[in-house]
Amino acid sequence: MSEKTIADLAKAMGKIDFAMLTTRTEGDQLATRPMSNNADVEWDGDSYYFTYEQTRTVSDIERDRHVALSFQGRAGILGAPPLFVAVEGEASIIRDKAVFAEHWTKGLDRWFPQGIDTPGIALIKVHAVRINYWDGEEEGEVTPSV
C-alpha cells in the first residue's frame, strides 16, 4: 500500500473546489460553512479562502485560530472510489492587498465585484497541522512541516 505525501494531498485538495471549514464560536460551539479554495492549495498544505471581514468566520478565527477543513471528491475516472481529506489547521486572517493579488482568481469577481479593492475583503489562510485521508482502501496521516 502506497503512502501519500503532502504534495499528493495538496494537489488533490486543489482539485476539490469546496471545503467545509469549521471554527469554534464565542459560545464554544462548532460552526461549519462551505468555502471555495479556488484551487489555491500549496504544496505544503496551506490553503486560502476569501471572505468578508465582518463575518462570524473571521471573528471566530481571531478568537481561536484552530480550525478544521474537510474535503470530499474525486477528480478522475468515473466509478473511482471517493477521496476524503480531513485537515486540522491553524488559521490566520490576511488583510494585505498584495497578498490578495497573489491568490486572486477571476472566478472570485462574482462574490467580490471590485476585486482586491472590494471594501471589507479578507483572506483566510489555513496552515495544515495534520491531514488524514481515505482514498478507496488506502488511508493515512500526514503531518506537514511547521
Q: What is the pLDDT of residues 91-113, one digit of tens each?
A: 999 999 999 999 998 889 999 99
pTM of the model: 0.86
Place of cell 488511508: 139
Cell of 15: 482539485
Higher pLDDT pick, 3 / 31? 31
List pLDDT tens digits, range 59-89. Answer: 999 999 999 999 888 655 566 778 888 999 9
Mean pLDDT of the chain: 87
- Domains defined for the chain, CATH in brackets: 6-142 (2.30.110.10)
91 vs 9, 76, 135, CA distance in Å? 19, 30, 26
